[in-house]
Amino acid sequence: MKKEKTKIPVYFHTKQMEFHPKYEWALGNRIKHPESTKRAESIFKAIKSHKELFDLKEPERIPLASIRANHSYELVTLYNSAASLPDGQAFYPSVFPDKKKSRPDPTNIKHAGFYCFDSGTPLDSKTWLAASWSAASAYAAGEEIYKGRSSVAYAISRPPGHHASKDSYGGYCYFNNAAIVAKLLKKKGRVVILDIDFHHGNGTQEVFYKDDKVLTISIHGDPRDYFPFFWGFSSEIGAGKGEGYNLNVILPPKTKFPAYKKALLETVFPTIKRFEPDYLILSAGFDTYKLDPVGDFLLETSDFEKIGKLISSLDLPTVVLQEGGYFTKDLGKNAVSLLRGFV
């Protein structure tokens, strides 16, 4: 009898494609919004062209309880308010009040800035729809691992999640998909979240900052020069019980694979092994790619497979979640390359 090789389950829902952020500002210039649906299209196409590797699936609706367990009532209310904006209108917050000196009303879309930390992340009538289906894809991939059905699963989670915290959004992120999956897996064991997006995963860090059962690690460009600017320094190590359970690794501009590998082997992996996790969530951004218009590292397509192989050598059941990556044309092949490292 011929034994069939198990394929990697990949989750995606077409409703994730109904949200179209139009533009944002870059040093005074209006630019096309980097987080376009072309990104998910590129990945979807690449996944579909590798039927021998992947089993493409549609998620079920995410239980509202698992969103509520991760995000404040007010934030969810705000997204719900945005859902009744007229078609084609988007709200870009421009007033960000001092949280201690203001009284927000999440049923008033004009108050969105209270819940947001950057001006490039719009809300419109479809944001909630796309973001909740993105979270549903992540959750479904998480369930594959939770139920022991697969050793690795991937979600084309677009819009991404790692900048969103319990009660705020920004950096193109609305729901923290990694945190939602971590809270599921945490019921069965110790969880490490490794964030390899070019940007610091400030939302994920914040959610688990005082948690000693979820280790959060992010490798990224220097926050003094790159988004999200205020978080991601090596001095941020966790607090309370969570002290020692957050690790930030900063790499210089133009980082190539050898230095990236060194950081993984000498800093990241020893920390993970000491923690003795049961599960790994990989926040996978591809804005570390050499041609990425947003990030500033110099990784090649073939490097992602090597990174995947290195990470899979940790031998942990792994949920891979899509985060950033803005060189759309090569995004699909970069994602496939990373996942190939796991087979």
- Interface residues toward ligand OKP, by CB under 6 A: 24-25, 118-120, 160, 163, 171-172, 197, 199, 227, 285, 287, 294, 323-324
* Closer residue to ligand OKP (CB): 157 or 312: 157
- Kindly state the smallest distance separating residue 165's Cβ from Zn ion, in Å: 16
Interior CA angle at 147 toward 160 and 7, to 5°?
Answer: 70
Candidates 99-107, 143-151, 193-201, 255-263: pick the segment binding Zn ion (CB under 5 A).
193-201
Residue nearest to ligand OKP (CB): 324
For tokens 């990241």, the residue is 268
Contacted by 296, from Zn ion, ligand OKP, none: CB < 5 to 8 Å by type: none
Among 24-32, 34-42, 249-257, 282-290, the segment contacting Zn ion (CB under 5 A): 282-290
Sign of the Cα pseudo-torsion (116, 197, 12, 332, in order):
positive
For residue 139, the minimal CB distance to ligand OKP (Å) is 20
Q: How far is the CB of 286 from Zn ion (least distance, A)?
A: 9
**Considering the rule CB under 5 A, would residue 160 count as an interface residue with Zn ion?**
no
Q: Which residue from 199, 200, 306, 333 is in contact with Zn ion, where contact means CB under 5 A?
A: 199
What sign results for the dihedral spanned by CA atoms 105, 106, 108, 114?
Answer: positive
As measured in angstroms, the least distance from the Cβ of 173 to ligand OKP is 7
Min CB(319)–Zn ion separation in Å:
18
**Residue 293: HSE in the Cβ half-sphere, 13 Å Cα cutoff:** 12
* Crossing angle for the helix pair 37-48 and 328-340, to the nearest 10 degrees: 40
Query: Which residue numbers are catalytic?
Result: 163
Residues paired with residue 23 on neighbouring β-strands, in sequence order? 32
If binding means CB under 5 A, how many residues of this protein chain bind Zn ion? 6
Count CB neighbours of 17 within 10 A: 17
Both tokens of residue 231? 């978080």
List the single partner that 158 binds among ligand OKP, Zn ion, none, CB under 5 to 8 Å by kind: none
Which of 285, 317, 332, 341 contacts Zn ion by CB under 5 A?
Answer: 285
Residue 201 binding Zn ion, by CB under 5 A: no
Which residue stretch of 23-31, 34-42, 190-198, 307-315 sits at the interface with Zn ion (rule: CB under 5 A)? 190-198
Torsion region of 249: left, alpha or beta (phi above 0 gives left; psi -120 to 50 gives alpha)? beta
217-245 b/e with 16+ CB inside 10 Å = b? bbbbbebeebbbeebbeeebebeeebeeb
287 binds Zn ion (CB under 5 A): yes
**Least distance in angstroms from the C-beta of 48 to ligand OKP:** 24
Q: Kindly write out the interface string for residues 230-269 of this chain, putting x where it contacts Zn ion by CB under 5 A and - elsewhere.
A: ----------------------------------------
Q: Which of 35, 118, 124, 197 binds Zn ion (CB under 5 A)?
A: 197
Q: Tell me the window of 4-12, 83-91, 112-120, 287-295 that interacts with Zn ion (CB under 5 A).
A: 287-295
CB 122, min distance to ligand OKP, A: 11
Q: Which is nearer to ligand OKP, 25 or 73 (CB)?
A: 25
Q: Are 135 and 68 in contact, with CB atoms under 8 Å apart? A: no
Taking CB under 5 A as the binding criterion, the range among 40-48, 199-207, 268-276, 333-341 that sits at the site for Zn ion is 199-207
Residues of the shown chain interacting with Zn ion in the complex, contacts defined by CB under 5 A? 197-199, 285, 287, 324
